[in-house]
Amino acid sequence: MNEKDLYAHLERRFVDTFLDELIPGIFHNFANPLNGIMGRSKLMQRRLDDFVKKMETSYPNIENEMGMDYKKLISDIHSISSESEKFFDMFRIATGKFYTLGTEGAEQINLSSLIETELAFADFYMDYKHNTKKKIHLDVEIPYITGMTACYSVALWFLIRQATKNVRELDGTFNIMTTHDNQSVIVAISHIGKSLVSGWHDILFSLHDEPTSFFNYSEDQKNLIYALLLFRKGSDRVEITHDSDMDLLTIRIPYHQ
């Protein structure tokens, strides 16, 4: 084996530790100093605000006497507090995603909340954050469904990634929405169609558990089938349709079991 082969072998072993061991450890080690930064920045902001009020009461002209340095100090402290909150939100989104992937067993899931989390996580992909036009409508009153959160999370992640990739190639707008009727929770995602393989519906709704008839298709097409199969594994009553004219994929998941 040459140097590249040796490196590649150990690199794969390194990557294998990511989800189960490394990422949780990284987040755990980040959490303590981040909580300290958050707490101290808030405390510093409150103390400065109290101090400024006392100074302005004792010295009414202090702002004029101190000039821009006085205002800049107050502004900087408030900016530090605000940016630390943004950093904490990003940290919370990232940790939530990876902990979700580690969940097991059936849970009660609000798909609108889960999609909102997935879209927030998608902002870590710069092409999605800066180069994708989006139209999002999520039904906050959506009923809960029962299923494995990790399965729905990874399936939604791929659908969002694939749709936004297609959108950028077409210079269109990525649309995602949730709603519900008296039987089902409904998720609709635009711009999936060009990735659908021929006979995709028969593959999803055949009686065979293992899809074996599409191995000649691209990786994106196979991954899309796997993502849709995860929805089907959640319930055999799931309905998946595609409107080719609107290029809209619709998934109906029953919430009355």
Which one, of 203, 103, 112, 182, lies nearest residue 150 by Cα? Answer: 103
Label residue 109 by pLDDT band (50, 70, 90): very high
Range of the domain at 27: 3-101
pLDDT digits 0-9 by tens, 7-22:
787 778 777 777 777 7
Q: How many domains does the chain have?
A: 2
CA dihedral 112, 161, 156, 28 (to 10 degrees): -90
What would the two tokens of residue 66 be? 């101190």
Per DSSP, the residues of 176-200 read EEEEE-SSEEEEEEES-GGGPPTTH
On whether both 113 and 225 belong to a single domain, the answer is: yes
Evaluate whether 191 touches 198 at the Cβ level (below 8 Å): no
Query: Which of 49, 66, 101 corresponds to the end of one domain?
Result: 101
On whether both 232 and 149 belong to a single domain, the answer is: yes
Label residue 207 by pLDDT band (50, 70, 90): low
What would the two tokens of residue 201 be? 């519906």
Evaluate whether 176 touches 136 at the Cβ level (below 8 Å): yes
Q: Is the pLDDT of residue 211 over 60?
A: no
Strand ranges (E), the chain? 107-109, 133-137, 145-147, 173-180, 184-190, 239-243, 248-254
pLDDT digits 0-9 by tens, 31-79:
888 888 888 888 888 888 888 788 778 777 777 777 677 778 888 888 8
pLDDT digits 0-9 by tens, 74-104:
888 888 888 888 888 888 898 888 888 877 8
